[in-house]
Chain A
């Protein structure tokens, strides 16, 4: 029988190609190998491994959240033990020198800031320490301090995020943006405050929220479900209009699934998904589609649709025109 190297056996295990015989060989090999031999086999497999298989975003963000939580907890512990040591030394000194030194210890409480951000074309989800679920849209950043949830629940947002805020009557949840703040108790809503856009948009799915001016904390408006407020950054002029909040928050879904859905409905959803205006000509009302999309562009989808039902289309910035042949 050919003797296979440990590395090859491990590679076979990893690619699910290993046979029963080979597994027994691997088992024997492992038993007779020292850690350093296993290490060199693993190391060489590791160096040739690539980054092309992604883990599911839920798992990735769960681990990120757990790491952050443990970091926060261990830093807090450090602070406490440091304070304790200082207290033991400082109390006698305090008696002698008065309260002067007492105030220097307050620096130990300076909070750190966590920043979560997404690159262009990426989205992510995260769980804040109070259980609030946040979906962060592409090209956005969200900051919060290590003392989040201690006395207040404040986050700062640039870009767009959807919040499903966990209920806490005693602590208001506050989203600060460049110009407006959103105050809530327990609800689901979306804030869009991109730096390069002229307005800040907030819409509400359920619950109740207040929107205030960031500069003077003056109340602008209270929103009810399915309402949207747009605030102009230039002059802080605002208006409230009704909207379909559930459709507007479609982007938080990882994928969009259609099963035998009428074409009009499909295009309505696609318009929300891609944030485009879609105009349709010569549409036959009986056409139905079934497909799933994840990260495909509108162009790719239209090319697919063209294969089923021939169309001409033109995409121009935020405007798309589709003509059935």
Chain B
């Protein structure tokens, strides 16, 4: 029996060994070639060479708005961040050797130094408004991503990684461990808070963005993915032009493929980084600065847009209040918490204001083109539309304008005239004209913040108010009130279309990278256009025009060129903050700002338009001309000064 069991034991041994042998044959024979290739690949590794992000310039090409600037990064070693035992042991040995002490003593020294390093890191992070834990997590994620792409150990696991970037001075790192301060680049915005909404800021790529933007496995080989994909911790444009022109600005990383050899590394092949290309905006920073200064000196908030004609390039895009791009992350909590000033909002393209009387030139053009009226048609204004509703449908002029034609109706901004036009044209037709002037589409500069204006149409009404059009809607639309809301850029662009004599074009903000331009000619005759032009001209330059006082009044130095303009004073619901905390803004919430929205829009010079503009001032008392007019005047003065009007 013993002998039989010995035989069984021997059989177990033999069978087990045969099993191991079979597995060996599988690993070394069947899959050996794969493993051999994998092995050869693991001897190589790829060093990534960062690409410089392109700069952003204004239209002159000499004034940089965003550049990569030299700075220092505070870096920690990957082994230190992950508390890798091998790395820590190595450090302890090194300390022991340097200080000539035993390993255990060195371990204590290491602990002290590590503690000091973490304290230093936390101090630096706090001083620069960086969340240290988040930063560390991001680095570890980044290395994990690289490892996943490469499929093996990577050099990044033996490298220092920037924990806090963008330090202006080199730090002294005595008595620390695993820390380094190395030169780096950061995004620098020489103009600070000027045109900050347009330029936009950059930030670390998020997981969702990586998922959305990165090339997936199988769509390109790993080297291509490594070069062009966003790795954790990569910078990308988060708003404005930085986001819009990201593909141009970013560039492609270079690489150097190295093979490990006994004595170090041998370069197998390499490709230089393709640096990001520069982007040129159509903005003129001098003009921009003048306008911003005007807003600030008057203590007003709002927006101003200047377009060149006939090209339709955006010369200035002001949104006040603004924020300093260089301090965006440091100040973010305060900026974000400012519910009243809303500094992060790009008012020129993002905020929708009731347009008020500024839509009247468009309505007039529509009516003329549709044949509802002619230039000579006179309608009667008695100060109110209906005799039996004294409180409603009134003209701002209580005495009424009497019998007036379209030119004078524009000059005097007669509400009753346009109520009647609204009645005659109906909501559908009015809406069609607003659509033709581009209000229902995005403005088309390519900024991701852009919003379409709100022109009520049947579907929208059904959805939000559960009703169809009523006659009152058309009258409201004709004077730019009711539910209609527009962005300043839309209005400025509509003015540009009127100035061009009915040629609509989407504006251009960036010479590179914007969307395809859309243009269309509206069915308008020269006489129709001329009627509106002259009405708008009279608004500014003829006594009795609603803006005359503010362009030619006492104490105002006239600019000496004929200007077409239109003022608007739009009744605006007050701005509220969610004070009762129910998650939405409703009637029970606290009012923080109230007043009218003041507009002054137009183009200049009359007869040979070279710029179109829109100025909007928020929450003010006293009408469009008084509040927005002086800003528009300064705007035109600046355009003259800088040669945009010759």
A is bound by B: no
